Amino acid sequence: MHHTLELKILDARFGSEWSLPEYATPASAGLDLRAALDAPLTLQPGDTALVPSGLAIHVGDPTLCAVILPRSGLGHKHGIVLGNGTGLIDADYQGPLMISVWNRGREAFTMQPGDRIAQLVVLPIVRATLQVVEEFETSARGAGGFGHSGVR
Ligand SMILES: O=c1ccn([C@H]2C[C@H](O)[C@@H](COP(=O)(O)OP(=O)(O)OP(=O)(O)O)O2)c(=O)[nH]1
Ligand SMILES: [Mg+2]
């Protein structure tokens, strides 16, 4: 599936110092987002900062959304993940794309302006109509959950 994503450049360093987000390989799902910072920013363990991406996107199509996800290497090796777990970008959002960066690790971490700190993924969305019922049709799982089937 392909979508043309409208993008506004909010930070003039894109196009000169920094390249725009791009897919690293022909089958990559994520577009890396940069920290559009004016100066290096150090996050102490446990700290969170709302970092501008320097970009705005308009997904437009209500059957799509975008999500901001951690980068694996930063998340696993340095504990740099997202303060909101996953950032959900609604298809009608047109404001600045912001990245909530959380240092869940045990050591301070410094971001430099332009560092690729998270990634953007465009996903299909099913919008549901809620239908109130008294009973559900019986399913194989029923109400079992939260590990009720054990680990082996
Ligand atoms: O990591 C994120 C998460 C959200 N957003 C923007 C896009 C999204 O469409 C909007 C609202 O996000 P969400 O609905 O998750 O936050 P909320 O706390 O419910 O705010 P609102 O009351 O504006 O919906 O904020 C970002 O820029 N970065
Ligand atoms: Mg909301």
Per DSSP, the three-state class of 21 is coil
Q: Which domain holds residue 115?
A: 6-124
Average pLDDT of the chain is: 97
pLDDT at 63: 98
Using an 8 Å Cβ cutoff, are 80 and 117 in contact? yes
Using the mean position of ligand 2's atoms as its centre, give its distance from the Cα of residue 75 in Å.
25
Q: What is the ipTM of this complex?
A: 0.97
pLDDT at 98: 98
pLDDT at 56: 98
| Atom number, ligand 1, closest to the C-alpha of residue 97 | 27
Q: Any idea what the CATH number is for the domain that residue 26 is in?
A: 2.70.40.10
Task: List the one residue out of 98, 112, 106, 114 whose CA is nearest residue 47.
Answer: 106
Using the mean position of ligand 1's atoms as its centre, give its distance from the Cα of residue 25 in Å.
29
Max CA distance (Å), the chain:
60
Residue whose CA is closest, atom 13 of ligand 1? 88
DSSP state string for 37-76: -SS-EEEPTT-EEEEEEEEEEE---TTEEEEEEE-HHHHH
| Atom number, ligand 1, closest to the C-alpha of residue 100 | 1
Using the mean position of ligand 2's atoms as its centre, give its distance from the Cα of residue 88 in Å.
9
Whether residue 99 lies inside any domain: the answer is: yes
Domain total in the chain? 1
| Atom number, ligand 1, closest to the C-alpha of residue 90 | 9
Structure tokens at 102: 């959380």
Q: What are the tens digits of pLDDT across the range 93-134?
A: 999 999 999 999 999 999 999 999 999 999 999 999 999 999
Whether residue 150 lies inside any domain: the answer is: no
Distances (CA, A) of 76 to 18, 103, 117, 147: 25, 11, 13, 25
Whether residue 130 lies inside any domain: the answer is: no
Residue whose CA is closest, atom 3 of ligand 1? 87
Mean pLDDT in residue range 2-24: 97
Whether residue 1 lies inside any domain: the answer is: no
Per DSSP, the three-state class of 77 is helix
pLDDT at 38: 98
pLDDT at 48: 98
